[in-house]
Each structure stands twice: as structure tokens, then as C-alpha cells.
């Protein structure tokens, strides 16, 4: 295989073979691709990634979710369960740095593509495995989606209002959080292989479940239950450990505010013309404010309701309070901060035309990321990869296509 093509970003030169589907692995490899990695994504020859069918779609049926999640990846088709497909997959990872997969545990081993098989042809490979419950444990072989992880991780139980049922997030939070942990772990493993203590030169397996990353976000809660038996309950938009912190109604909408330390709270009290709150023993410190959050929020909202969102924010910011509006996507597109930072990037796409997408996040001073193209068509890069890089002849590729291998 030829070396990874040159791309813009700090990960230029990194070769990634993405055998995952849906969201968790795909979002991690999207981030890698945003920052220069050469990501080759494998899809089944007959059925493309399910995200290709997600709404919202353009008039011709093209999924905009796919255009976002599939960007900066070269897409090829391959039946991993076929013997010839297995051999081609091993050829693909032979010179790769990283491979991703998110099948049910045991599937890759059954296909002859488990860690031992891949490390036999590439001992330095970082093999990232995402699954519902992880690769070990009594539930490891059960199927798992993000929705289930959001329930098991404790997230749904803690999310929502006290008088309502547990609430799932409006985005694929478990998958997207697992993707971030997988991304971090990939870079850690590459650092150990290439740099740490001189570099071991050895690859390893990274095992990421959908449940544990979300659960890991509850810092303090594990310790609280282990030490005192305390279980976090739903608090709506309030925070169980700091006050005031809420979404407050205004005369024409809503605004957010957080005053987590004493100085900021005192500035808020003066800004809303209620300096007496500072001397009130119920609000003397953060712990007291958390205990008496109902009357505190009522006092603040009595003031915010008498002002428009713009007025309230202007007055509070003049007192150096930390406040903000509640945006929808239309507001974000108009906001000067997003535009000033170049967060809205226009990309020309052959299927959907000029389309606005996220610019790579975060920003780099010397080696910024880039969006070279949006999600490709199914099998768009078969010739480029199989003929141009693996060295198959056009006739051999045609035979594999006819046999349903690619």
C-alpha cells in the first residue's frame, strides 16, 4: 500500500481503517479526519452505513447527517465476512496506524479479524473496539445502543425535572461521548507506541463501551455513593452542587445564568437591585444557596421577567455577571461570535451543492484542521484504494465486484 496521502492538520500522515458503522466509531474517525488523518471507511457492498438513511434529507434523498458524519473519509465497500474480503481487510490494515470496529463482541474474531489476526500482519496497530457493554463481562455479548447506555450509565435517571420521568438526551449522547473517549485513547496509545519512554513500537487494543464514558462524567457521584450512599436525583436546570444556576424566564424568552462563587453572586444581587440578598443568611455561601435555591431563583426570576433577554443580559454583563441567551440553530447562524471564529464552513458538494458544516473544533495555531469534502457516495473510492493503493488490476476489482466481495 502507498503511504497515507498528504492532508492538512496535525494528524497528517496517520492512516486509519474504519470498520465501524453508525455513530460512536464514526464520529471518532470524523474527528481524526478533520485534523488530517487519512481515514478509509469500509461499508458493506449491498447496504451502506445506516446513517445514509437518516433524516433530514435533501430533495433527492441524500442524508445531511451522512454528509456531516462521513466527511473527510474515503469510502470503499467490502464484505468483511467473506474469505476474500477478510484478506483484503488484512491488506488494508497492514500499513495502517489505527483500526476501528464497533461490531458485537466476537464478530470480528469469527471473521478472522480479531486483535490477534490484525496484530499478526501489523504488530504496531492500535485496534479500537467500541461496543455496548465492552469486550468483557457477563453482558459483553449483548447488543447495545446508545439509548440503553444512557439509561444504564445513570444519565437518564439524573436528567430532567424532579416531578417528571427520567429524560433521554435529544442527541446521541452516549455514542458521541464514547467517540470522544475513543479519540483520546487512540492518541494516548499512539503516543505510547511512538514517543512515551522512547516508544514501545507496539500496538494494543483499546476497549471502549458506550456505558462507561457517560458514567465517568459523574465526577463526585461515585465517591458520594460509595462514602455516604447518596444518589443524585433530577434537579431540572439547576445544579445539585451550585446556586444560582438555571434558565430564567424573561419578558420575551429565556436566558441562562450561573453564579457559582460568592463574588459573582454578589455582583448578580447588585445588578438586579436586590443587594439585601447578600446579607440574607439563606444565601450566605454556596452551600446555603443550594439548600434555599427555590426562594433565590424566585427572587432572580421576578427581576428577569421584567426585562427582555437583551436588556437583562446587558444589565447583568455590565456588573460582570456570567449570562447568556438560549439559542436555536437559526440564532447560532446569526451570532457574531460563531462567525468571527469561522465555525460555519461552506463546502461545495457534488450531491447537495454548497452546504454549511461545522469547521473543525478545536482551533490549532499552526496546523488547523480542514474539511476537504463531505460524506462520499457508497463505494466512491473503491478504484482509488483497491487499484491505486492495494495494487489490484481493474479486472480483479471487477471480478470482486461481480462476486459481491466489494
Domain boundary among 268, 291, 325: 325
Cα 198 vs. chain centroid, distance in angstroms?
31
Position 56 scores a pLDDT of: 94
Q: Is the pLDDT of residue 321 over 80?
A: yes
DSSP string covering 34-69: HTT-EEEEEE-SSS--GGGGPSPB-TT--BHHHHHH
Per-residue pLDDT of 256-285, as tens digits, reads: 999 989 999 999 999 999 999 999 999 999
Report residue 3's pLDDT band, with 50, 70 and 90 as the boundaries: very low
- With respect to residue 221, please indicate whether it lies within any of the assigned structural domains: no
CA separation for the pair 8, 23 (Å, rounded): 24
Single pTM value for the model: 0.95
> In this structure, are 40 and 152 located in the same domain?
yes
Helix (H, G, I), strand (E, B), or coil: what is residue 21? coil
CATH of the domain at 80: 3.40.50.10540
Report residue 6's pLDDT band, with 50, 70 and 90 as the boundaries: confident
> In this structure, are 210 and 117 located in the same domain?
yes
**What strands, in cross-sheet order, belong to the sheet with 98-101?**
73-77, 38-43, 15-18, 98-101, 126-131, 204-209
Q: Across-strand partners of 107?
A: none
> In this structure, are 267 and 208 located in the same domain?
no
Q: Hunting for cell 451550585 — which residue is that? A: 242
> In this structure, are 311 and 351 located in the same domain?
no
Position 1 scores a pLDDT of: 44
- With respect to residue 36, please indicate whether it lies within any of the assigned structural domains: yes
CA separation for the pair 384, 213 (Å, rounded): 36
- With respect to residue 235, please indicate whether it lies within any of the assigned structural domains: no
> In this structure, are 162 and 206 located in the same domain?
yes
Report residue 2's pLDDT band, with 50, 70 and 90 as the boundaries: very low
The average confidence (pLDDT) of the chain is: 97
Position 283 scores a pLDDT of: 97
Residue 49 among the catalytic residues: no
> In this structure, are 195 and 282 located in the same domain?
no
- With respect to residue 331, please indicate whether it lies within any of the assigned structural domains: no
Q: Is the pLDDT of residue 5 over 80?
A: no
Closest alpha carbon to 178 in 138, 222, 140, 144: 144
Residue 305's domain spans which residues?
245-325
Domain boundary among 267, 290, 325: 325
Per-residue pLDDT of 91-104, as tens digits, reads: 999 999 999 999 99
DSSP string covering 214-250: HHHT-TTHHHHHHHH-------TTSBTTBSSEEEEE-
**Which is the catalytic residue, given 18, 49, 175, 349?**
175
Q: How many CB atoms lie within 10 A of CB 94?
A: 14
CATH of the domain at 301: 3.30.1540.10
> In this structure, are 286 and 388 located in the same domain?
no
- How many independent structural domains does the chain possess? 2
> In this structure, are 76 and 176 located in the same domain?
yes
- φ, ψ of residue 304 to 5 degrees: the values are -65, -30
- With respect to residue 348, please indicate whether it lies within any of the assigned structural domains: yes
Q: How many CB atoms lie within 10 A of CB 299?
A: 17
> In this structure, are 361 and 395 located in the same domain?
yes
Position 289 scores a pLDDT of: 97
- φ, ψ of residue 7 to 5 degrees: the values are -145, 160
- With respect to residue 269, please indicate whether it lies within any of the assigned structural domains: yes
**Cis amide leading into 13 (omega within 30):** no
Per-residue pLDDT of 243-259, as tens digits, reads: 999 999 999 999 999 99
> In this structure, are 356 and 321 located in the same domain?
no
3-state helix, strand, coil in the chain (%, to 5): 40, 15, 45
Contact 38, 5 (CB under 8 A): yes
- With respect to residue 6, please indicate whether it lies within any of the assigned structural domains: no
Please list, in sequence order, all residues whose beta carbon lies within 8 angstroms of the beta carbon of residue 374, skipping any fewer than 6 positions away. 67, 68, 70, 71, 347, 349, 351, 352, 355, 357
> In this structure, are 165 and 37 located in the same domain?
yes
Position 4 scores a pLDDT of: 57
- With respect to residue 225, please indicate whether it lies within any of the assigned structural domains: no
Position 7 scores a pLDDT of: 86
Per-residue pLDDT of 280-300, as tens digits, reads: 999 999 999 999 999 999 999
Q: What is the mean pLDDT of residues 191-198?
A: 96
The CA angle 184-190-194, to the nearest 5 degrees, is: 150
Q: What is the mean pLDDT of residues 344-351?
A: 97
CA separation for the pair 10, 366 (Å, rounded): 9
> In this structure, are 60 and 197 located in the same domain?
yes
**Parallel, antiparallel, or unpaired for β 323-325 and 254-258?**
antiparallel
Closest alpha carbon to 25 in 97, 91, 98, 111: 98
In b/e form, how buried is each residue of 37-73, taking b as 16+ CB within 10 angstroms?
bbbbbbbbbeebbebbebeebeeeebbbbbbbbbbbb
Domain boundary among 268, 290, 325: 325
Question: What is the four-CA torsion angle of 35, 40, 43, 44, rounded to 10 degrees?
Answer: -170
Amino acid at each position: 500500500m502507498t503511504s497515507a496521502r498528504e492532508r492538512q492538520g496535525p494528524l497528517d500522515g496517520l492512516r486509519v481503517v474504519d470498520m465501524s458503522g453508525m455513530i460512536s466509531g464514526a464520529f471518532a474517525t470524523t474527528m481524526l479526519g478533520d485534523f488530517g488523518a487519512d481515514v478509509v471507511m469500509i461499508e458493506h457492498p449491498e447496504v451502506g452505513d445506516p446513517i445514509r438513511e437518516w433524516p433530514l434529507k435533501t430533495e433527492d434523498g441524500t442524508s445531511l447527517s451522512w454528509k456531516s458524519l462521513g466527511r473527510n473519509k474515503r469510502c470503499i465497500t467490502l464484505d468483511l465476512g467473506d474469505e476474500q474480503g477478510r484478506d483484503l481487510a488484512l491488506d488494508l490494515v497492514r500499513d495502517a496506524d489505527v483500526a476501528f470496529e464497533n461490531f458485537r463482541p466476537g464478530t470480528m474474531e469469527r471473521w478472522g479479524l480479531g486483535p490477534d489476526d490484525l496484530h499478526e500482519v501489523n504488530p504496531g496497530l492500535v485496534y479500537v473496539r467500541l461496543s455496548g457493554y465492552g469486550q468483557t463481562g457477563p453482558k459483553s455479548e449483548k447488543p447495545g445502543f446508545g439509548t440503553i447506555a444512557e439509561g444504564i450509565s445513570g444519565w437518564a435517571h439524573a436528567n430532567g425535572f424532579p416531578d417528571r420521568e427520567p429524560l433521554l438526551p435529544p442527541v446521541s449522547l452516549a455514542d458521541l461521548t464514547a467517540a470522544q473517549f475513543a479519540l483520546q485513547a487512540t492518541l494516548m496509545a499512539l503516543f505510547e507506541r511512538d514517543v512515551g519512554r522512547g516508544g514501545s513500537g507496539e500496538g494494543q487494543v483499546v476497549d471502549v463501551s458506550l456505558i462507561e464514558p457517560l458514567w465517568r462524567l459523574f465526577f463526585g457521584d461515585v465517591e458520594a455513593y460509595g462514602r455516604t450512599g447518596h444518589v443524585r436525583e433530577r434537579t431540572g436546570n439547576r445544579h445539585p452542587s451550585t446556586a444560582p444556576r438555571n434558565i430564567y424566564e424573561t419578558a420575551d424568552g429565556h436566558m441562562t445564568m450561573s453564579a457559582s462563587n460568592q463574588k459573582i453572586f454578589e455582583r448578580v444581587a447588585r445588578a438586579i437591585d436586590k443587594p439585601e440578598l447578600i446579607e440574607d443568611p439563606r444565601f450566605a455561601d454556596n452551600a446555603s444557596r443550594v439548600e434555599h435555591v427555590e426562594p433565590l431563583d424566585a427572587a432572580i426570576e421576578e427581576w428577569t421577567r421584567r426585562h427582555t433577554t437583551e436588556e437583562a443580559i446587558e444589565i447583568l454583563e455590565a456588573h460582570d455577571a456570567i449570562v447568556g441567551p438560549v439559542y436555536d440553530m437559526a440564532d447560532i447562524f446569526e451570532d457574531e461570535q460563531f462567525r468571527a471564529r469561522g465555525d460555519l464552513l461552506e463546502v461545495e458538494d457534488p450531491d447537495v451543492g454548497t452546504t454549511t458544516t461545522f469547521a473543525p473544533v478545536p482551533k490549532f495555531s499552526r496546523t488547523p484542521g480542514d474539511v476537504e469534502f463531505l460524506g462520499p457516495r457508497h463505494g466512491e473510492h473503491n478504484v482509488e484504494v483497491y487499484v491505486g493503493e492495494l495494487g489490484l488490476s481493474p479486472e480483479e476489482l471487477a471480478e470482486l465486484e461481480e462476486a459481491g466481495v466489494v
